[in-house]
Amino acid sequence: MKYFLIILVFLVGCSSVGTFHYTVPKGKHRSTNILREVHNHTLRYSFTTDSTWIWDKPDKQGWSKVTGMSWNSNKKNSVRIVYLRLSDSVGVLGYYYYVNGVSPQDNPTQKGILDTISIGQSYYGKLGWDNGFYFIEMNNKYHSMYVGDVIPTFYFRWLQNPYIGGTYVIDHDWDMITTIR
């Protein structure tokens, strides 16, 4: 129990404000960054795409998480900016929400496309929960979904780290620098 409390204090004490370098290593799904607590129901973000965002479209792909936030559990209630390769030359940025444990794979109204990526372009905006709505704003594009009072009474808000989605991995490191405010 003592070690659990030390780890919890360490995780909770880590600020979610700042500029963070993330790498999802070649052949892996997750970045190695620690969890960071978010102190509000919304966060402002920015990131710039680079050549590591280009890979061949896999046969069985899923959405890859860029950033987001969750309340207690990332598969219970969360809001995410995600990335998907539509072809070997086209990638898109989208959103998806987990609502009371319902996956966006089970309810297609909980996911969608916001923009086609351009390598070298910066993306910025905010995301979170406000007055019963999950929302995502990115480069003046906006999506929201009424979810009611899904936020638990006792909760931690976590910054979501990058993740290669689906059953595939890529053949190079996926790098990004994300600024959270």
Give the model's pLDDT for residue 32: 81
Span 63-84, pLDDT tens digits: 999 999 999 887 899 999 999 9
* Cβ atoms of residues 30 and 161 within 8 Å: yes
Please give the tally of structural domains in the chain: 1
**Residue 1 pLDDT exceeds 50:** no
| Residue bearing the bigger pLDDT, 80 or 36 | 80
Give the model's pLDDT for residue 76: 92
Span 148-158, pLDDT tens digits: 988 877 788 89
Q: Which of 1-10, 70-79, 159-168 has the lowest mean pLDDT?
A: 1-10
- Distance CA(25)–CA(4), nearest Å, equals 28
| Closest among 180, 177, 64, 74 to 127, alpha carbons compared | 180
CATH number of 152's domain: 2.60.120.200
Instruction: Tell me the chain's radius of gyration from C-alpha atoms.
Output: 16
* Residue 39, beta-bridge partner list: none
Give the model's pLDDT for residue 39: 86
Distances (CA, A) of 17 to 24, 133, 149: 21, 23, 26
- Domain containing 104: what range? 2-180
Give the model's pLDDT for residue 154: 75
Span 12-35, pLDDT tens digits: 445 567 898 999 999 999 998 888
